[in-house]
Chain A
């Protein structure tokens, strides 16, 4: 039997090879001749002011944090769902407790406005 991950390895090689080939080929065929005007940052016809790496809203960090919390919890739901028939009502109650705790945190985030834009 062929190990089940070998085809994934083949796919990875094919995909990476394809991406590398495309980028290199278009670089060679496109023959970039950069000038100052060409390589200027696009700004709707205005000269760009300063750099782009400035401060941006902290909202994005908040969403990220909530996502990580809930996503890890979603990852817990998967194995639970897989063996659910063996667990029965015990599993249901356990997950209800888990989801209630999770929902409490979610409700708090909702209430303090972390989800408002």
Chain B
């Protein structure tokens, strides 16, 4: 088999595994979030469907597939149907450059074809030279799904929700983008594997310590970018019913939810890669390549799980911002802080060089 075909097969399998894995993590997230919230509020949460309620996401999915879908009167049908698709496709596309914990080495087992034995499989869909720039572009595109959903619904709540949501995502995306610049300044690379490699060794080499203000801005702006509490203004149910997805039902609603969760997973994975050392365990005697690369993957997965739990925890703890507070905080605190910190880091880097 020619090397090109081998590469193609490898990449196709990686894409399918990542896609399926994200779907799996998404459905687990919906369950775990409800269980965690229930635990924090002294409730039980969904625990009847299967062991510990493990089949609840499956039941929800089947239910949503068979739900009758509505398209409100006066809605722009094309945009209304297209919006969830745009949201979910952009959400999945931005996962392409995330490094899912280093590389796996296929063990040299005799029943495997020869070209597969000892092959190093990068756990990343595409290692682009423009990596972070690609992400920056796609995270801007994510707004389209929300705006289209809000506009197409012909519902005042949806329209206001969509507008608010887009303004919020714009504002916090700027802070998010600026919080990445110090990391690039330190590692001089747009490629996530290189950024991860730059944080090897002891855990105090992780960017979250040296670049703590950027990490802080990243977490806050990332929470807002994923529309999570305390920044879930778009769906502030006490004022806007459900914001831009008021009129959505059945699987189209599920796709919008899925886009939100996939965005949250991407933000977590990216935070783990850029600030928490990605596949690095933080202990030099336990390199991420140990045990066929499984150590690196597990270290990465633990960090992502920590991020996700943090998001659930926030939702269980904090009340929602008021809209004016939200915009003030984004523009008058986060953006200036992120911009000033870039100059500080640049100064330090130039002085040390």
Which A residues fall within an 8 A CB radius of B? 1-2, 4-8, 10-12, 14-16, 18-20, 22-23, 25-27, 29-34, 36, 38-44, 48, 51-54, 56, 59-60, 63-64, 66-67, 70-71, 74-75, 77-78, 81-85, 88-89, 91-92, 95-96, 99, 103, 106, 110, 115-117
Q: How far is the CA of A100 from the CA of B136 in the complex (A)?
A: 23
Q: How far is the CA of A54 from the CA of B11 in the complex (A)?
A: 48
Q: How far is the CA of A116 from the CA of B327 in the complex (A)?
A: 8
Assess whether B160 is interfacial by the CB under 8 Å rule.
yes
Assess whether B298 is interfacial by the CB under 8 Å rule.
no
Is B69 a contact of A32 with CB atoms below 8 Å? Answer: yes
Is A30 a contact of B167 with CB atoms below 8 Å? Answer: no
A78 and B159 in contact, given A34-B70, A63-B167, A84-B349 (Cβ under 8 angstroms): no
Contact with A along B286-326 (1 / 0, CB 8 A): 00000000000000000000000000000000000001100
Q: How far is the CA of A44 from the CA of B155 in the complex (A)?
A: 11
Interface of A is mostly: helix
B77-114 with Cβ < 8 A to chain A: 81, 84-85, 88-89, 92-93, 95-96
Give chain A residues whose Cβ lies under 8 Å from the Cβ of B125: 7-8, 11
Assess whether B283 is interfacial by the CB under 8 Å rule.
no
Is B181 a contact of A92 with CB atoms below 8 Å? Answer: no
Is A8 a contact of B93 with CB atoms below 8 Å? Answer: yes
A15 and B93 in contact, given A10-B11, A42-B72 (Cβ under 8 angstroms): yes
Is B7 a contact of A41 with CB atoms below 8 Å? Answer: no
A84 and B346 in contact, given A30-B69, A70-B335 (Cβ under 8 angstroms): yes
For the A-B complex with A25-B65, A26-B65 known, give 6 more contacts whose Cβ atoms are closer than 8 Å: A8-B128, A15-B92, A40-B72, A60-B166, A74-B174, A115-B331
Return the chain B residue nearest A44 by Cβ.
B241
Is B350 a contact of A81 with CB atoms below 8 Å? Answer: no
With beta carbons under 8 angstroms apart, the residue of B92, B128, B184, B241 that contacts A4 is B128
Q: How far is the CA of A77 from the CA of B178 in the complex (A)?
A: 8
Return the chain B residue nearest A81 by Cβ.
B184
A96 and B343 in contact, given A15-B89, A41-B74 (Cβ under 8 angstroms): yes
Return the chain B residue nearest A86 by Cβ.
B188
Give chain B residues whose Cβ lies under 8 Å from the Cβ of A31: 68
